[in-house]
């Protein structure tokens, strides 16, 4: 059930998601890109995980990879990752992430200057504030990989943005204690 929608020009994905998050009213929030989908039971599974892990700022699951025709080609499997793992660029697939609204408000919305790793930048900021929780055995979403998808068509641009995030972490005092032990792996 949709409470609101808009189709208008914006500066990119981050601004569009931020507009939606500003209008969202739930205690648990997420976004889904246009070519991705939630699997049956995703919303109830994420809600149950948030209830079971009240200390977690976000919960996440494994994510299926689909080809252009919607056939499963892989399952992206994650693990009990935390801040240090994210700092080493262990990437969590966005469609499988659900966040507490209160934590999103503390961390701040997506930074509109990022176009490829905007979600990872947000997960890092959130993981500084609260633990993140992987849900073993859950697969809440599917992400499509096709020639027009940003993660395929513009894959090379992700590396430059990763270095930009690393520079941001190096300049952010809150990351300094953890960065000393993971800097080499991050690079």
Looking at residue 11, its pLDDT comes to: 82
DSSP assignment of 34-102 equals TT-EEPTTHHHHHHHHHHH-TT-SEEEEEEEEE-TTS-EEEEE---S--HHHHHTT-PPPGGGEEEEHH
CB 113 within 8 A of CB 38: no
Contact 87, 186 (CB under 8 A): yes
* Phi, psi values for residue 61, rounded to 5°: -125, 175
Residues near 80 by beta carbon (within 8 Å), at least 6 away in sequence: 134
> 3-class DSSP state for residue 183?
helix
Inter-residue contact 76 to 65 (CB < 8 Å): yes
Q: One digit per residue, pLDDT tens: the chain, 187 residues?
A: 677 788 888 888 999 999 999 988 899 999 998 889 999 999 999 999 999 999 999 999 999 999 989 999 999 999 999 999 999 999 999 999 999 999 999 999 999 999 999 999 999 999 999 999 999 999 999 999 877 777 766 778 889 999 999 999 999 999 999 999 998 999 8
- Distance from C-alpha of 85 to C-alpha of 101, rounded to nearest angstrom: 23
Look at residue 146 in the predicted model and tell me its pLDDT.
Answer: 73
What pLDDT is recorded for position 153? Answer: 65
Q: Is 95 left (phi over 0), alpha (psi -120 to 50) or beta?
A: alpha
Could you tell me if residue 137 is left (phi over 0), alpha (psi between -120 and 50 degrees) or otherwise beta?
left
Residue pair 175/83 in contact (Cβ under 8 Å)? The answer is: no
Residue 18's pLDDT is 94
Q: 143 pairs with which residues across the strands?
A: 65
Q: Count other Cβ atoms within 10 Å, centred on residue 180.
A: 8
Cα(140)–Cα(138) distance, rounded to whole angstroms? 6
Closest of 13, 44, 5 to residue 28, by C-alpha: 44
């Amino acid at each position: 059930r949709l409470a609101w929608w808009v189709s208008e020009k914006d500066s990119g994905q981050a601004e569009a998601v931020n507009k939606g998050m500003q209008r969202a009213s739930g205690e648990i929030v997420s976004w889904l890109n246009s070519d991705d989908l939630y699997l049956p039971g995703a919303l109830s599974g994420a809600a149950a995980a948030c209830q079971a892990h009240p200390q977690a700022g976000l919960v996440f699951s494994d994510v299926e990879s689909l080809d252009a025709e919607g056939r499963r080609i892989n399952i992206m499997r994650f693990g009990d990752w935390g801040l240090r793992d994210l700092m080493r660029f262990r990437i969590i697939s966005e469609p499988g992430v659900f966040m507490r609204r209160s934590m999103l408000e503390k961390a701040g919305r997506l930074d509109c200057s990022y176009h490829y790793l905007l979600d990872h930048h947000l997960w890092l900021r959130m993981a500084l504030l609260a633990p993140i929780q992987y849900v073993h055995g859950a697969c809440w979403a599917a992400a499509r990989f096709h020639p027009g998808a940003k993660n395929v068509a513009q894959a090379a641009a992700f590396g430059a943005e990763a270095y930009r995030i690393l520079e941001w972490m190096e300049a952010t005092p809150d990351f300094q204690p953890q960065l000393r032990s993971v800097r080499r792996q991050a690079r």
